[in-house]
């Protein structure tokens, strides 16, 4: 078992890659009552075209299969639902699907090993029939229709569609009514056996554990499987330019919502991610010049959400919030970006923001759920979460100004608006 230690936060990660390819990561937290387990597969809504290990041809499946699988895995052949079983044990259980991975998890103080029994059982024993697949289509269909009328989701998805021509990140994670109608048990089993192999999965456990004992408990509950080759993901070619600068939609909202997007090229670089977090907070964070101006003019009433989403094949900035005049917020944002490019970034502002971002990274290591989810998501990008604590020291004001010029290009910016 490999030990990775970070002295800045006094944390250790015990990591082992098992014979079947599964990566297990254990983060002991002595004296902490809460225990957290998350088991994820590198399979999200973006994977609708792929080459199965051992084959040459490309397999294409409908959009929404990853999310459909997440729903169906809880249903057991004996008629029980594993989510109900876990709830009866007194644990807080859940699952989620993103663009690039799916995860099953629970948090508890008691009954940890009983909950581990249940989670590892249902994730390893899929049960699909024509009948239960058809029933699920109705349930997910209702979810799709609900999201169609959900303003916060529409403003996000419209921003994606304004930025991306072909990349599947522009498609709703749950799919569409039409796409899920094509899903059957054969497709579900095919995708399960392709992507739910241990070699494509990572398990993270955080709490007051003895790593050597816990790894034995994990191994006891694993089904014997042979190592498998790498899955080749197939993505359509994506142009550098955006689709259109503005998309507007009318829905019932008390105040207009906006999402400012900036299309970038995909790279899993920790240093660049840190720089983007610092930069976004400098431009429109709570202590920024622009935020104060927008607030005083009554254009915004709270700090917008600031995100930089990235993988190896796509990346973008998202700034989302509410305003009675979203177009003005967008124009002032572009003006502030241009001002910083012309005048440069003040060293005192940079140092202050850098300290704030570093404090946020340290704080993430206080909570078992934050730690586990962070290590899982980062590991799927081949990133060690400790790297954020180390690489932030190498982010200089000169590097930040270079990222500002490389990423914050006006021709790559879009705005999505949802208004009444």
Beta strand ranges found along 208-256 (DSSP E): 232-233, 246-250
Instruction: Kindly report each contact of residues 125-130 with a partner whose C-beta sits within 8 Å and lies 24 or more positions away, as own/partner.
Output: 125/76, 125/77, 126/69, 126/72, 126/73, 126/188, 126/189, 126/192, 126/196, 127/72, 127/75, 127/76, 127/77, 128/72, 128/185, 128/188, 128/189, 129/185, 130/184, 130/185
Q: What is the structure's pLDDT at 147?
A: 85
Start and end residues for every CATH 3.30.830.10 domain found in the chain: 2-233, 246-419
Q: Which two tokens mark 114?
A: 């009983």
CA distances from 3 to 14, 337, 366, 370, 388 (A): 5, 43, 20, 20, 18
Instruction: Compute the distance between CA of residue 42 and CA of residue 40 in angstroms, rounded to an integer.
Output: 7
Residue ranges of the chain with per-residue pLDDT less than 50? none
pTM: 0.94
Contacts of 229 (CB under 8 A, 6+ apart): 53, 54
Residues 292-323 have pLDDT tens digits of 999 999 999 999 999 999 998 999 999 999 99
Residues 177-233 have pLDDT tens digits of 999 999 999 999 999 999 999 999 999 999 999 999 999 999 999 998 887 889 999
Instruction: Compute the distance between CA of residue 271 and CA of residue 54 in angstroms, rounded to an integer.
Output: 36
Q: What is the structure's pLDDT at 228?
A: 84
Residues 133-150 have pLDDT tens digits of 999 999 999 999 988 889
Q: What is the CATH number of domain 246-419?
A: 3.30.830.10
Q: What is the structure's pLDDT at 222?
A: 96
Of 369, 284, 363, the residue nearest 329 (C-alpha): 284
Does the domain at 2-233 match CATH 3.30.830.10? Answer given as yes
Q: What is the structure's pLDDT at 335?
A: 97
Instruction: Compute the distance between CA of residue 68 and CA of residue 97 in angstroms, rounded to an integer.
Output: 9
Instruction: Compute the distance between CA of residue 408 and CA of residue 164 in angstroms, rounded to an integer.
Output: 17
User: What residues are annotated to the active site?
Assistant: 70
Angle, in degrees to the nearest 10, between helices 65-72 and 185-195 = 90
Strand order through the sheet with 102-108: 2-6, 11-17, 23-28, 201-207, 35-41, 102-108, 92-97
Beta bridge partners of 97: 102
């Amino acid at each position: 078992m490999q030990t990775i230690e970070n002295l800045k936060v006094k944390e250790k990660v015990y990591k082992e890659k098992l014979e079947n390819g599964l990566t297990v990561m254990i983060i002991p937290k002595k004296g902490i009552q809460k225990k957290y387990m998350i088991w994820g597969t590198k399979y999200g809504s973006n994977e609708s075209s792929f080459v199965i290990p051992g084959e040459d041809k490309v397999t294409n499946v409908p959009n929404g299969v990853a999310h459909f699988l997440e729903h169906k895995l809880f249903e057991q052949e004996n008629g029980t639902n594993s989510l109900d079983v876990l709830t009866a044990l007194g644990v807080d259980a859940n699952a989620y699907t993103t663009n690039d991975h799916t995860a099953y998890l629970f948090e508890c103080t008691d009954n940890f090993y009983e909950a581990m029994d249940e989670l590892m059982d249902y994730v390893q024993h899929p049960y699909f029939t024509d009948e239960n697949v058809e029933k699920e289509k109705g349930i997910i269909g209702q979810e799709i229709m609900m999201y169609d009328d959900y303003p916060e989701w529409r403003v996000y998805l419209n921003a994606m569609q304004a930025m991306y021509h072909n990349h599947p990140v522009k498609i709703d994670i749950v799919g569409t009514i039409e796409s899920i109608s094509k899903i059957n048990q054969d497709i579900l089993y095919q995708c399960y056996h392709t992507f739910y192999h241990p070699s494509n999965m990572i398990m993270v456990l955080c709490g007051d554990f003895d790593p050597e004992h816990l790894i034995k408990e994990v191994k006891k509950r694993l089904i014997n499987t042979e190592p498998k080759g790498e899955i080749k993901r197939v993505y359509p070619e994506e142009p550098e330019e955006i689709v259109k600068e503005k998309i507007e939609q009318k829905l019932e909202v008390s105040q207009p919502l906006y999402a400012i997007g900036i299309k970038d090229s995909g790279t899993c670089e920790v240093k660049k991610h840190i720089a983007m977090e610092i930069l976004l907070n400098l431009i429109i964070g709570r202590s920024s010049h622009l935020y104060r101006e927008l607030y005083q003019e009554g254009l915004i009433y709270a700090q917008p959400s600031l995100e930089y989403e990235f993988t190896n094949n796509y990346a973008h900035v998202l700034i989302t919030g509410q305003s009675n005049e979203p177009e003005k917020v967008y124009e002032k944002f572009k003006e502030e970006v241009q001002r910083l490019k012309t005048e440069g970034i003040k060293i005192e502002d940079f140092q202050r923001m850098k300290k704030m971002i570093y404090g946020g990274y340290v704080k993430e290591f206080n909570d078992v759920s934050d730690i586990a989810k962070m290590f899982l998501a980062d590991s799927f990008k081949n990133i060690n979460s400790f790297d954020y604590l180390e690489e932030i020291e190498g982010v200089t004001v000169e590097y930040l100004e270079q990222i500002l010029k490389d990423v914050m290009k006006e021709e790559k910016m879009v705005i999505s608006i949802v208004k009444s």
